[in-house]
Amino acid sequence: MKKKIFSIILARGGSKGIKNKNLIKFNRKPLIYWTIKQSLISKNIDEVWVSSDSKKILSYAKKVGAKTLLRPTKFSKDDSTSESAWTHAINNIENIDIKKDLVIAPQLTSPLRSNADFDKAINLFIKKKSDSLFSGFFFETFFNWKYLTKKITPNYDLKKRRRRQNLSKSIIENGSFYIFKINGFLKNQNRLFGEISCYIMPKAKSFQIDEKEDLKFLNILSSNDKNLK
């Protein structure tokens, strides 16, 4: 049997920045809708699961087309890790083969994706024979300053200010999604391990919704996005 790919979407009921964030309206639909839809549209994803401690969220997720898993409170606290919630889900989805199957773990707070991003990233993962993958974007290392105990110090030589064209590039994790082999994940209890790849996304698709200001900003960005219609 060929390996299967499971989208496991974590959707906790509580949220610090925005109350009931996962069900708040974004672009006229609950925020969780967009990640479920993108997973269901994917040609490479075999099953879409939503793990939550909220029966309201699970009811909506089931209505949209996802399979659902009730997550215990001990894996849904403010200090609970995503790794613990993914482990719970993996251990409770009956038809997962932990020896060969893959998980794609999309984050609900990053709805500005192309509908093809998941498939392109999965293809890259397989092509590079990766163990794990993160999504990210290129970031030019500008003139950064350190802020420590109310004192600022430069992270570059003030007397040798380089031109923008000569600045080095870094890759920033944008938190949009991760992909990992299940057996390696369970062994390492970490989303990134072994041979790590990166799927590069545009900076404009890398913004996250954590605060109310983010929600307003991303609603503006999404107004002309054909993937969010």
Catalytic residue ranges: 161
Q: How far is CA 211 from the centre of its chain?
A: 17
Around Cβ 72, how many Cβ atoms within 10 Å? 12
Around Cβ 86, how many Cβ atoms within 10 Å? 23
CA-based nearest residue to 135, from 102, 105, 103: 105
CA-based nearest residue to 113, from 196, 38, 172: 38
Structure token pair of residue 147:
């802020």
Q: How far is it, in rounded angstroms, from Cα 62 to Cα 153?
A: 51
- Strand 25-26 versus strand 5-10 pairing type: unpaired
H runs (alpha helix) in the chain: 31-41, 55-64, 82-92, 117-127, 182-188, 212-222
Task: Please tell me what DSSP assigns to residue 72.
Answer: P
